[in-house]
Amino acid sequence: MARIDLKDLTIRFGGFTAVDNVNLTVNDGEFAVYLGPSGCGKTTTLRAIAGLEQATSGDILFDGKRVNDLKPSERNIAMVFQFVSLYPNLSIAENIIFPLKARGMAKAEIARKLDWVTGVFKLGDELKRRPAALPPGARQKVALARAVIRDPAVLLLDEPLSAIDEQFREEMRWELGHLQRELGVTTIYVTHDQREAMSLADRIVLMNHSKIVQVAEPDRIFFQPSSVFAGQFIGSPSMNLIDLVPVAGGLRLGDSPVVLSQSELPPGITARGAVKLGIRPRDLRLVSGEGHALAVEDTFSVGRERFFTFTVSDQILQGTDHRTQPGAGSVTLVPEGMMFFDAETGLRITEAAA
């Protein structure tokens, strides 16, 4: 296995900067997931680690050794792409062992490795079949087996589940996480799907506009986002954002009558200028009775969850609950779920920063 260090990594294509001064360490055996919108630089970074793209500046190191000038074949990496590329005229077993035969490995060693990877991926019944006879999820599993059988120091996965039907994707997601923990191989996984990132990652590397926005464990990035972008990109439904208006005694929620008092705000926040409140739908509650000024506009239910909408400053906001009060018609905020962001920079305001 290997530790990967990216130091001041920048990649430009003409006048376009695809990766902008990225610094990151992926620890030996870690499952790191690059997450972000299309075009943010995550796949370009992955391809640079693989040796398929050349760094404009900066360094890529495996276990402290600079690999910028090494060919992909010299880096001991394996890569699995979004669309599976198997040889249709070869059996599953022949597809899996192909890279070992290309190396000229002894037949006995190839047989031993095939037995091992077949047990790990539970492919015994499919070995004699051809790729066309397998469902998409099983074909992707074969591609993973072919990558792993080489004993790579680094496994690079570029949206490997996005082309699979949803019914297979959930199963493959669980299997992939289990296999990575069993194998212990350093893994970098690229996706734009936050569910994949949250369920698979030891750490999420969140990117936007060619830069790393936040690196953190899934729970931390959900509950302690560093910016408006991180708060809204992670979570479904997305985090609500409300402009706060300074008034006597605190900050008012947009054009509503609701005022957050000084005791509900981080120290010194009223002196910072324009501030936004961020609150996730799960931290809003439906309540009955008078005294709650945020009126519910619409509700609908999916299973145990009830979704509801309300409006502040002509902005439609969304909340969720578990039908605790079927007839409730007003919304209240859970204080522990409130987060505050600088309206100009988009960065989260912590008590220390305030």
Residues 90 and 152 in one domain: yes
DSSP 8-state class, residue 348: B
Q: Is residue 230 part of a domain?
A: no
The domain boundary, picked from 170, 200, 225, lies at 225
pLDDT reported for residue 173: 84
Contacts of 159 (CB under 8 A, 6+ apart): 43, 81, 82, 190, 191, 192
Task: Kindly tell me if the per-residue pLDDT of 119 is higher than 60.
Answer: yes
First to last CA, the chain: 42
Residue 178 — φ and ψ, nearest 5°? -65, -45
pLDDT of residue 36: 96
- Asked if residue 14 belongs to a domain, the reply is yes
Q: Which residue has the higher pLDDT, 186 or 294?
A: 186
- Mean pLDDT of all residues in 299-310: 85
350 part of a folded domain: no
Is the whole model's pTM more than 0.85, yes or no?
yes
> Confidence class of residue 327 from pLDDT cuts 50, 70 and 90?
low
Cβ contacts of 306 within 8 Å, gap of 6 or more: 286, 299, 300, 320, 321, 322, 323
φ/ψ of 83, rounded to 5, equals: -105, 125
Q: Which residues face 321 on adjacent strands? A: 306
Q: Let me know whether 198 and 249 are in one domain.
A: no
**pLDDT above 50 for 180:** yes
Per-residue pLDDT averaged across 149-154, rounded? 91
Cα(276)–Cα(340) distance, integer angstroms? 6
Task: Count up the domains in the chain and report the number.
Answer: 2
**Three-class DSSP category at 166:** helix
Range of the domain at 256: 237-342
Residue 217 belongs to a domain: yes
pLDDT, position 177: 87
Closest Cα partner for 264 from 339, 347, 320, 348? 339
Residue 137 CB-half CA count within 13 A? 14
From 186, 201, 225, the end of a domain falls on 225
Tokens of 289: 């009775």
pLDDT-derived band at 137 (thresholds 50, 70, 90) equals: confident
Question: Are 212 and 256 contained in the same domain?
Answer: no
Structure tokens at 51: 């040796």
Q: Which residues pair with 348 in a beta bridge?
A: 341
Neighbouring-strand partners of residue 205: 34, 215
Provide the CATH number for the domain around residue 282: 2.40.50.140
Which pLDDT value is given to residue 305?
82
- Residue 195 sits in the same domain as residue 247: no
Which residue is it, tokens 């350093």? Answer: 186
- Backbone phi, psi, residue 298, to 5°: -155, 150
CB 331 within 8 Å of CB 294: yes
